[in-house]
Amino acid sequence: MPVAKVYTLKEHNIRNSQIDKDALWAIKRMQSSGAEAYIVGGAVRDMMLGRRPKDFDIATSLSPRQVQRMFWNSRIIGRRFRIVHLFFGNKIIEVTTFRSDEENFEDGRNNMYGNVEQDAKRRDFSINSLYYNPSNGQLLDFNDAMEDFRKRTIRSLIPLSYSFSEDPVRMIRALKYQATTGFTLSRDVRHAIKKNAGNIETCSISRLTEEVSKILSSGYAAAIFQNLQKFGLLIYILPILSMYLEYPAVQEALDLMDSRVKEGIESGSPAPKDEIIYMLLKPLIVFDNPEGTSPDELFREGFRQAKILISPMTPPNYELEKAIDRLLESMGYKRSRNRKSAEARVPRKKPNNMGRKSAANEELSSGPRKSRKKKKKLKEIPAEPRTLAEEHDL
Protein backbone atom coordinates (compact mmCIF):
# COMPACT_ATOMS: atom_id res chain seq x y z
CA MET A 1 0.00 0.00 0.00
CA PRO A 2 1.25 3.54 -0.74
CA VAL A 3 2.67 5.29 2.31
CA ALA A 4 2.62 9.08 2.51
CA LYS A 5 2.62 11.92 4.99
CA VAL A 6 -0.80 13.57 4.82
CA TYR A 7 -1.24 17.31 5.42
CA THR A 8 -4.62 18.93 6.02
CA LEU A 9 -5.98 22.38 5.13
CA LYS A 10 -4.59 23.78 8.39
CA GLU A 11 -1.06 22.67 7.44
CA HIS A 12 -0.79 23.92 3.86
CA ASN A 13 -1.82 27.11 2.02
CA ILE A 14 -3.78 25.56 -0.85
CA ARG A 15 -7.44 26.42 -1.35
CA ASN A 16 -9.82 25.13 -4.02
CA SER A 17 -10.58 28.72 -5.00
CA GLN A 18 -7.06 28.86 -6.47
CA ILE A 19 -7.73 25.91 -8.80
CA ASP A 20 -9.19 26.09 -12.29
CA LYS A 21 -12.91 25.17 -12.22
CA ASP A 22 -12.61 22.79 -15.17
CA ALA A 23 -9.76 20.94 -13.47
CA LEU A 24 -11.90 20.57 -10.36
CA TRP A 25 -14.80 19.32 -12.48
CA ALA A 26 -12.58 16.75 -14.23
CA ILE A 27 -11.20 15.43 -10.93
CA LYS A 28 -14.68 15.20 -9.43
CA ARG A 29 -15.87 13.17 -12.39
CA MET A 30 -12.91 10.78 -12.22
CA GLN A 31 -13.27 10.28 -8.48
CA SER A 32 -17.01 9.64 -8.82
CA SER A 33 -16.13 6.58 -10.92
CA GLY A 34 -14.04 5.20 -8.05
CA ALA A 35 -10.66 6.29 -9.42
CA GLU A 36 -7.91 8.32 -7.77
CA ALA A 37 -7.20 11.79 -9.17
CA TYR A 38 -4.98 14.63 -7.91
CA ILE A 39 -3.62 18.04 -8.89
CA VAL A 40 0.13 17.52 -9.30
CA GLY A 41 3.43 19.06 -10.31
CA GLY A 42 4.11 22.74 -10.84
CA ALA A 43 0.55 23.80 -10.00
CA VAL A 44 0.87 22.46 -6.44
CA ARG A 45 4.34 23.97 -6.13
CA ASP A 46 3.12 27.42 -7.22
CA MET A 47 0.07 27.33 -4.92
CA MET A 48 2.33 26.37 -2.02
CA LEU A 49 4.32 29.53 -2.78
CA GLY A 50 1.16 31.64 -2.99
CA ARG A 51 1.37 32.11 -6.75
CA ARG A 52 -1.15 31.70 -9.54
CA PRO A 53 -0.35 28.54 -11.54
CA LYS A 54 -0.19 28.79 -15.31
CA ASP A 55 -1.39 25.21 -15.91
CA PHE A 56 -3.16 22.55 -13.87
CA ASP A 57 -2.02 18.98 -14.49
CA ILE A 58 -3.88 15.93 -13.19
CA ALA A 59 -2.54 12.48 -12.27
CA THR A 60 -4.98 9.57 -12.03
CA SER A 61 -5.23 5.81 -11.62
CA LEU A 62 -7.34 5.60 -14.80
CA SER A 63 -5.65 4.44 -18.00
CA PRO A 64 -5.53 6.87 -20.95
CA ARG A 65 -8.23 4.88 -22.74
CA GLN A 66 -10.50 5.01 -19.68
CA VAL A 67 -10.01 8.78 -19.43
CA GLN A 68 -10.80 9.18 -23.12
CA ARG A 69 -14.03 7.20 -22.77
CA MET A 70 -15.06 9.35 -19.80
CA PHE A 71 -14.51 12.73 -21.53
CA TRP A 72 -15.70 13.35 -25.07
CA ASN A 73 -13.51 16.48 -25.31
CA SER A 74 -10.30 14.45 -24.93
CA ARG A 75 -7.46 13.25 -27.11
CA ILE A 76 -4.67 10.77 -26.43
CA ILE A 77 -1.21 11.97 -27.45
CA GLY A 78 2.36 10.75 -27.11
CA ARG A 79 4.36 7.79 -28.35
CA ARG A 80 6.73 6.83 -25.55
CA PHE A 81 4.17 7.38 -22.82
CA ARG A 82 0.55 8.16 -23.62
CA ILE A 83 -1.17 11.09 -21.92
CA VAL A 84 -4.60 12.65 -22.39
CA HIS A 85 -5.42 16.27 -23.21
CA LEU A 86 -8.79 17.65 -22.14
CA PHE A 87 -9.85 20.57 -24.34
CA PHE A 88 -11.81 23.51 -22.94
CA GLY A 89 -11.81 26.15 -25.67
CA ASN A 90 -8.19 27.29 -26.03
CA LYS A 91 -7.27 25.78 -22.64
CA ILE A 92 -5.79 22.29 -22.27
CA ILE A 93 -5.70 20.25 -19.06
CA GLU A 94 -3.17 17.42 -19.16
CA VAL A 95 -4.10 14.10 -17.55
CA THR A 96 -1.46 11.42 -16.93
CA THR A 97 -1.81 7.90 -15.58
CA PHE A 98 0.26 6.89 -12.53
CA ARG A 99 3.54 5.52 -13.88
CA SER A 100 5.44 2.56 -12.56
CA ASP A 101 9.13 2.50 -11.68
CA GLU A 102 9.53 -0.83 -13.46
CA GLU A 103 9.70 0.43 -17.05
CA ASN A 104 12.25 -0.96 -19.48
CA PHE A 105 12.57 1.18 -22.58
CA GLU A 106 14.92 -1.28 -24.30
CA ASP A 107 12.24 -3.98 -24.17
CA GLY A 108 9.57 -1.56 -25.36
CA ARG A 109 7.71 -1.55 -22.03
CA ASN A 110 7.13 2.21 -22.01
CA ASN A 111 3.55 2.29 -20.72
CA MET A 112 3.92 0.53 -17.39
CA TYR A 113 1.29 1.87 -15.03
CA GLY A 114 1.63 1.87 -11.26
CA ASN A 115 0.22 3.45 -8.11
CA VAL A 116 0.41 6.98 -6.77
CA GLU A 117 3.54 6.32 -4.66
CA GLN A 118 5.46 4.88 -7.63
CA ASP A 119 4.41 7.89 -9.68
CA ALA A 120 5.63 10.27 -6.99
CA LYS A 121 9.03 8.53 -6.82
CA ARG A 122 9.50 9.15 -10.56
CA ARG A 123 9.24 12.95 -10.28
CA ASP A 124 12.39 14.91 -11.07
CA PHE A 125 12.65 17.10 -7.95
CA SER A 126 10.98 16.85 -4.56
CA ILE A 127 9.23 20.24 -4.82
CA ASN A 128 7.29 18.85 -7.82
CA SER A 129 6.19 15.64 -6.10
CA LEU A 130 3.23 16.76 -3.98
CA TYR A 131 -0.31 15.48 -4.74
CA TYR A 132 -3.34 17.56 -3.80
CA ASN A 133 -6.83 16.08 -3.48
CA PRO A 134 -9.40 18.90 -3.79
CA SER A 135 -12.29 16.71 -2.61
CA ASN A 136 -10.96 16.46 0.97
CA GLY A 137 -8.24 19.14 1.01
CA GLN A 138 -5.48 16.63 1.76
CA LEU A 139 -1.92 17.01 0.48
CA LEU A 140 0.02 13.75 -0.01
CA ASP A 141 3.79 13.81 0.46
CA PHE A 142 5.71 10.64 -0.46
CA ASN A 143 9.21 12.18 -0.58
CA ASP A 144 9.50 14.52 2.43
CA ALA A 145 8.89 17.41 0.05
CA MET A 146 7.28 19.56 2.75
CA GLU A 147 10.56 19.46 4.66
CA ASP A 148 12.33 20.73 1.55
CA PHE A 149 9.79 23.58 1.32
CA ARG A 150 10.57 24.51 4.92
CA LYS A 151 14.32 24.39 4.23
CA ARG A 152 13.78 26.11 0.83
CA THR A 153 15.88 23.42 -0.85
CA ILE A 154 15.68 21.81 -4.29
CA ARG A 155 16.54 18.12 -4.05
CA SER A 156 16.68 15.54 -6.84
CA LEU A 157 14.56 12.41 -6.48
CA ILE A 158 16.32 10.61 -9.34
CA PRO A 159 19.84 9.33 -8.52
CA LEU A 160 22.28 11.97 -9.74
CA SER A 161 24.65 9.29 -11.00
CA TYR A 162 22.53 9.12 -14.16
CA SER A 163 19.75 11.74 -13.84
CA PHE A 164 21.41 14.54 -15.82
CA SER A 165 23.18 12.21 -18.26
CA GLU A 166 19.88 10.45 -18.98
CA ASP A 167 18.04 13.76 -19.57
CA PRO A 168 20.28 16.87 -19.58
CA VAL A 169 17.24 19.19 -19.79
CA ARG A 170 16.71 18.47 -16.09
CA MET A 171 19.73 20.68 -15.40
CA ILE A 172 18.00 23.63 -17.09
CA ARG A 173 14.84 22.98 -15.09
CA ALA A 174 16.74 22.77 -11.81
CA LEU A 175 18.33 26.18 -12.41
CA LYS A 176 14.97 27.55 -13.56
CA TYR A 177 13.31 26.38 -10.33
CA GLN A 178 16.10 27.94 -8.31
CA ALA A 179 15.45 31.33 -9.94
CA THR A 180 11.64 31.18 -9.84
CA THR A 181 11.28 29.87 -6.27
CA GLY A 182 14.26 31.51 -4.59
CA PHE A 183 15.21 28.11 -3.16
CA THR A 184 18.77 26.78 -2.95
CA LEU A 185 20.03 23.80 -4.94
CA SER A 186 21.33 21.01 -2.72
CA ARG A 187 25.10 20.56 -2.81
CA ASP A 188 24.98 17.28 -4.74
CA VAL A 189 22.71 18.82 -7.40
CA ARG A 190 25.08 21.76 -7.88
CA HIS A 191 28.05 19.42 -8.20
CA ALA A 192 26.22 17.17 -10.68
CA ILE A 193 25.23 20.11 -12.90
CA LYS A 194 28.81 21.37 -13.12
CA LYS A 195 30.00 17.86 -13.89
CA ASN A 196 27.39 17.17 -16.61
CA ALA A 197 27.06 20.64 -18.17
CA GLY A 198 28.57 19.48 -21.46
CA ASN A 199 25.84 16.86 -21.88
CA ILE A 200 23.43 19.63 -22.87
CA GLU A 201 24.96 19.39 -26.37
CA THR A 202 23.27 16.01 -26.82
CA CYS A 203 19.76 17.50 -26.50
CA SER A 204 17.71 18.10 -29.62
CA ILE A 205 17.38 21.70 -30.83
CA SER A 206 13.59 21.45 -30.65
CA ARG A 207 13.66 20.60 -26.92
CA LEU A 208 16.13 23.38 -26.15
CA THR A 209 14.04 25.84 -28.17
CA GLU A 210 10.99 24.87 -26.13
CA GLU A 211 12.89 25.35 -22.86
CA VAL A 212 14.20 28.78 -23.93
CA SER A 213 10.66 29.80 -24.89
CA LYS A 214 9.45 28.81 -21.41
CA ILE A 215 12.30 30.77 -19.81
CA LEU A 216 11.49 33.92 -21.80
CA SER A 217 7.81 33.62 -20.83
CA SER A 218 8.49 32.97 -17.14
CA GLY A 219 9.14 36.53 -15.95
CA TYR A 220 12.45 35.39 -14.44
CA ALA A 221 14.58 35.18 -17.59
CA ALA A 222 17.34 37.49 -16.30
CA ALA A 223 17.93 35.38 -13.17
CA ILE A 224 17.63 32.07 -15.05
CA PHE A 225 20.15 33.13 -17.70
CA GLN A 226 22.53 34.22 -14.94
CA ASN A 227 22.22 30.76 -13.36
CA LEU A 228 22.80 29.05 -16.71
CA GLN A 229 25.87 31.24 -17.26
CA LYS A 230 27.22 30.53 -13.77
CA PHE A 231 27.02 26.75 -14.24
CA GLY A 232 28.38 26.76 -17.80
CA LEU A 233 25.18 25.82 -19.67
CA LEU A 234 24.30 29.06 -21.46
CA ILE A 235 27.27 28.77 -23.83
CA TYR A 236 25.67 25.62 -25.26
CA ILE A 237 22.10 26.97 -25.35
CA LEU A 238 22.52 30.60 -26.52
CA PRO A 239 26.25 31.05 -27.19
CA ILE A 240 26.08 34.66 -28.42
CA LEU A 241 23.87 35.79 -25.55
CA SER A 242 26.37 34.23 -23.14
CA MET A 243 29.06 36.51 -24.63
CA TYR A 244 27.02 39.69 -24.11
CA LEU A 245 25.06 38.76 -20.97
CA GLU A 246 27.09 40.99 -18.63
CA TYR A 247 26.63 44.10 -20.77
CA PRO A 248 24.48 46.68 -18.89
CA ALA A 249 22.26 47.24 -21.95
CA VAL A 250 21.47 43.52 -22.16
CA GLN A 251 20.76 43.27 -18.43
CA GLU A 252 18.46 46.28 -18.61
CA ALA A 253 16.61 44.78 -21.60
CA LEU A 254 16.12 41.46 -19.77
CA ASP A 255 14.80 43.24 -16.67
CA LEU A 256 12.32 45.24 -18.77
CA MET A 257 11.25 42.06 -20.55
CA ASP A 258 10.65 40.26 -17.24
CA SER A 259 8.58 43.19 -15.95
CA ARG A 260 6.46 43.14 -19.11
CA VAL A 261 5.92 39.36 -18.86
CA LYS A 262 4.94 39.50 -15.18
CA GLU A 263 2.54 42.34 -15.91
CA GLY A 264 0.89 40.24 -18.63
CA ILE A 265 0.60 37.20 -16.33
CA GLU A 266 -1.01 39.23 -13.54
CA SER A 267 -3.48 40.90 -15.92
CA GLY A 268 -4.40 37.64 -17.63
CA SER A 269 -3.15 38.92 -21.01
CA PRO A 270 0.24 37.26 -21.67
CA ALA A 271 2.80 39.28 -23.61
CA PRO A 272 3.00 38.23 -27.30
CA LYS A 273 6.01 36.07 -28.12
CA ASP A 274 7.18 38.46 -30.85
CA GLU A 275 7.25 41.31 -28.31
CA ILE A 276 9.33 39.19 -25.92
CA ILE A 277 11.80 38.33 -28.72
CA TYR A 278 11.96 42.00 -29.73
CA MET A 279 12.87 43.07 -26.20
CA LEU A 280 15.55 40.36 -26.04
CA LEU A 281 17.14 41.27 -29.37
CA LYS A 282 16.82 45.07 -29.27
CA PRO A 283 20.20 45.77 -27.58
CA LEU A 284 22.00 43.15 -29.69
CA ILE A 285 21.01 44.11 -33.24
CA VAL A 286 23.15 46.89 -34.73
CA PHE A 287 22.73 48.60 -38.13
CA ASP A 288 25.82 50.22 -39.69
CA ASN A 289 24.11 52.93 -41.74
CA PRO A 290 20.34 52.98 -41.10
CA GLU A 291 19.82 56.48 -42.58
CA GLY A 292 21.08 55.45 -46.01
CA THR A 293 19.28 52.11 -46.11
CA SER A 294 15.72 51.32 -47.17
CA PRO A 295 13.31 49.80 -44.59
CA ASP A 296 13.16 46.54 -46.56
CA GLU A 297 16.94 46.24 -46.55
CA LEU A 298 17.03 47.05 -42.83
CA PHE A 299 14.46 44.33 -42.26
CA ARG A 300 16.50 41.74 -44.14
CA GLU A 301 19.65 42.71 -42.25
CA GLY A 302 17.84 42.66 -38.90
CA PHE A 303 16.31 39.27 -39.65
CA ARG A 304 19.73 37.89 -40.64
CA GLN A 305 21.28 39.13 -37.40
CA ALA A 306 18.37 37.78 -35.33
CA LYS A 307 18.81 34.27 -36.74
CA ILE A 308 22.50 34.38 -35.81
CA LEU A 309 21.94 35.86 -32.35
CA ILE A 310 19.48 33.18 -31.23
CA SER A 311 21.24 30.30 -32.98
CA PRO A 312 20.94 27.34 -32.55
CA MET A 313 17.38 28.04 -31.35
CA THR A 314 14.69 27.85 -34.04
CA PRO A 315 11.55 29.82 -33.13
CA PRO A 316 8.93 30.26 -35.89
CA ASN A 317 10.05 32.66 -38.63
CA TYR A 318 6.84 34.69 -38.44
CA GLU A 319 7.57 35.50 -34.76
CA LEU A 320 11.06 36.69 -35.70
CA GLU A 321 9.66 38.79 -38.55
CA LYS A 322 7.15 40.49 -36.29
CA ALA A 323 9.91 41.10 -33.73
CA ILE A 324 12.07 42.81 -36.37
CA ASP A 325 9.08 44.88 -37.50
CA ARG A 326 8.68 46.07 -33.91
CA LEU A 327 12.37 46.99 -33.84
CA LEU A 328 12.13 48.98 -37.08
CA GLU A 329 8.98 50.77 -35.90
CA SER A 330 10.79 51.78 -32.69
CA MET A 331 13.42 53.38 -34.98
CA GLY A 332 10.80 55.14 -37.10
CA TYR A 333 10.87 52.78 -40.10
CA LYS A 334 8.16 50.70 -41.67
CA ARG A 335 8.78 48.15 -44.38
CA SER A 336 6.48 47.20 -47.24
CA ARG A 337 4.80 43.89 -46.40
CA ASN A 338 5.51 40.94 -48.67
CA ARG A 339 2.63 38.52 -49.12
CA LYS A 340 5.07 35.64 -49.36
CA SER A 341 6.71 36.47 -46.05
CA ALA A 342 6.53 34.10 -43.10
CA GLU A 343 4.44 36.65 -41.19
CA ALA A 344 1.77 36.49 -43.91
CA ARG A 345 1.63 32.74 -43.32
CA VAL A 346 1.15 32.99 -39.57
CA PRO A 347 -1.24 30.22 -38.52
CA ARG A 348 -4.65 31.52 -37.61
CA LYS A 349 -6.37 30.14 -34.55
CA LYS A 350 -9.24 27.93 -35.60
CA PRO A 351 -12.12 27.12 -33.28
CA ASN A 352 -11.45 23.90 -31.42
CA ASN A 353 -14.40 21.64 -32.13
CA MET A 354 -13.22 19.14 -29.50
CA GLY A 355 -13.42 21.52 -26.57
CA ARG A 356 -16.11 23.40 -24.73
CA LYS A 357 -16.07 26.80 -23.09
CA SER A 358 -16.32 25.41 -19.57
CA ALA A 359 -17.58 22.00 -18.56
CA ALA A 360 -17.80 23.18 -14.96
CA ASN A 361 -20.15 26.03 -15.89
CA GLU A 362 -22.27 23.68 -17.99
CA GLU A 363 -22.69 21.31 -15.08
CA LEU A 364 -23.60 24.13 -12.70
CA SER A 365 -26.09 25.72 -15.09
CA SER A 366 -29.76 25.24 -14.23
CA GLY A 367 -31.91 22.75 -16.10
CA PRO A 368 -31.07 19.52 -17.84
CA ARG A 369 -28.91 19.70 -20.88
CA LYS A 370 -30.72 18.86 -24.11
CA SER A 371 -29.02 16.20 -26.12
CA ARG A 372 -28.86 16.72 -29.85
CA LYS A 373 -28.56 13.49 -31.70
CA LYS A 374 -27.03 13.75 -35.13
CA LYS A 375 -27.63 11.17 -37.76
CA LYS A 376 -24.39 9.41 -38.51
CA LYS A 377 -23.60 8.36 -42.03
CA LEU A 378 -22.60 4.72 -42.06
CA LYS A 379 -19.49 3.92 -44.01
CA GLU A 380 -19.47 0.89 -46.21
CA ILE A 381 -16.92 -1.61 -44.91
CA PRO A 382 -15.82 -4.43 -47.15
CA ALA A 383 -16.31 -7.99 -45.95
CA GLU A 384 -12.59 -8.67 -46.17
CA PRO A 385 -10.53 -5.98 -44.45
CA ARG A 386 -7.78 -4.35 -46.49
CA THR A 387 -6.15 -2.50 -43.58
CA LEU A 388 -5.77 -2.81 -39.81
CA ALA A 389 -8.27 0.04 -39.41
CA GLU A 390 -10.89 -1.82 -41.44
CA GLU A 391 -10.16 -4.98 -39.46
CA HIS A 392 -10.73 -2.98 -36.22
CA ASP A 393 -14.06 -1.62 -37.54
CA LEU A 394 -15.23 -5.08 -38.60
Of how many residues is the chain composed?
A: 394
Residue 274 annotated among the catalytic residues of the structure: no
Residue 148 annotated among the catalytic residues of the structure: no
| Cα separation values, 363 from 32, 45, 68, 350, 354, Å | 14, 29, 19, 25, 17
Comparing CA positions, the residue from 149, 91, 85, 139 lying closest to residue 116 is: 139
Q: What gap in Å lies between CA 26 and CA 32, rounded to an integer?
A: 10
Q: What gap in Å lies between CA 57 and CA 332, rounded to an integer?
A: 45
Q: What gap in Å lies between CA 290 and CA 328, rounded to an integer?
A: 10
Residue 57 annotated among the catalytic residues of the structure: yes
Q: What gap in Å lies between CA 125 and CA 181, rounded to an integer?
A: 13
| Angle of the 169-181 helix axis to the 187-196 helix axis, nearest 10 | 140
Per the residue annotation, which of 119, 124, 141, 148 is the catalytic one?
A: 124
Q: What gap in Å lies between CA 350 and CA 159, rounded to an integer?
A: 44
Report which secondary-structure segment, H or E, holds 141: strand 138-141
Per the residue annotation, which of 55, 167, 255, 296 is the catalytic one?
A: 55
The amino acid occupying position 19 is I
Per the residue annotation, which of 20, 46, 57, 119 is the catalytic one?
A: 57
Comparing CA positions, the residue from 95, 118, 77 lying closest to residue 26 is: 95
Catalytic annotation, residues: 55, 57, 124
